[in-house]
Amino acid sequence: MSEGAPAAKLGRGPASGFLLIMGTCWGLQFAMLKLAAGGGYSELAVLVLAMALLSVVFLSVLVVRRHLFRLTAERIGFLLVTSTLGYLAPLWAALYAASHLPAGILTMMASLTPVATVALALSLRTEVVSPRRIVAVCLGAGAVCLVLWPELELPDFGKLHWLLVALVMPLCYGVESIYIARFWPSGMTPLQAVTGETVMALALVVPIFLVAGAPLPWPQWGAAELAIGLFVAAGVVESLLYFYLIQRTGGVFVTFGGFFSLFAGICWGMVLFGESHGVMVWVAVGVLCVSLLLACWERVEETEG
């Protein structure tokens, strides 16, 4: 996926270490969203600040590496879709639900992305229907039901509304994965794509923010500002490691980062917010792990075959 000569292969040990760091950063992002959401910033304000900072960082990397690219109608359309599905919609959903759900549950919902991708691909008939894929989707749906069902038995359905909002994340990421695989513009590198969609997301959210009239609080450099900064830093590290690992190990290996991010998000929630989870949630985590293993292992066999 990079320009020039193929990158050298990476050993299993270093690759696993980088994968662990990538998953840990991804899980940290959801904890930081929860912290930022409780710091007096509106969801739109956090989106604007995060997209602005990410845009500056990625544009700087793009300039330093001399990978500036020309915008075409095809690329603009591609970036409009991916910025909405990859940034705006899922991040808004995460921020909207973050004040009401544990960080571990947010991460768990986002970790359903591989299962959502397979389910959507099967429904659109872009994937081969196999027993393993069907079982993976069913187990993923079962994991969701294990989390949602207790809320149905509570007065006013408990936090069911916020759990459904959080499900927007894997659905958006799943649709984005299928769209990217089908419509990736020729000649565009991964770094150009992630920079383009970040800048496009900023361009889309700023007018909405201005129309909504939600003011930006004066920075106090407290917990919320630190959370936004760490969210951006973790996002940069995660994105760069993602592309680095794809270049040196292939796309299949990276999918196993979902296991690290799932448990990282739960651990960050415990450490930072003192979160604890009931037996049903831990059972759901176990079921989701089996579902993710089946979904990822199918891709491994396809690649090796």
What pLDDT digit, counting tens, does each position of 162-212 carry?
888 999 998 898 888 888 878 888 888 888 988 999 999 999 999 988 887
User: Is the model's pLDDT at 304 over the cut of 50?
Assistant: no
User: Is the model's pLDDT at 147 over the cut of 90?
Assistant: no
Amino acid at site 245 = L
User: Is the model's pLDDT at 6 over the cut of 50?
Assistant: no
User: Is the model's pLDDT at 96 over the cut of 80?
Assistant: yes
Could you tell me which residues come within 8 angstroms of residue 76 by beta carbon, excluding any fewer than 6 positions away?
Answer: none
CA distances from 294 to 49, 92, 287, 299 (A): 38, 30, 11, 9
Q: How far apart are CA 243 and CA 68, in angstroms?
A: 17
Instruction: Give the HSE-up count for residue 122: Cα atoms under 13 Å, Cβ half-sphere.
Output: 17
pLDDT number for residue 79: 94
Could you tell me which residues come within 8 angstroms of residue 192 by beta carbon, excluding any fewer than 6 positions away?
Answer: 62, 67, 69
* 210, two tokens: 């201005």
Of 2 and 165, the structure prediction assigns the larger pLDDT to 165
For residue 139, give the nearest of 256, 255, 295, 265 by alpha carbon: 295
User: pTM of the predicted model, to two decimals?
Assistant: 0.80
Max CA-CA distance within the chain? 61
Of 221 and 168, the structure prediction assigns the larger pLDDT to 168
pLDDT digits (tens, 9 = 90+) for 43-69: 888 888 889 999 999 999 899 988 888
Triad 93, 112, 50: Cα angle to 5°: 35
Give 62-66 contacts, CB < 8 A, sequence gap 24+: 62/191, 62/192, 62/195, 65/191
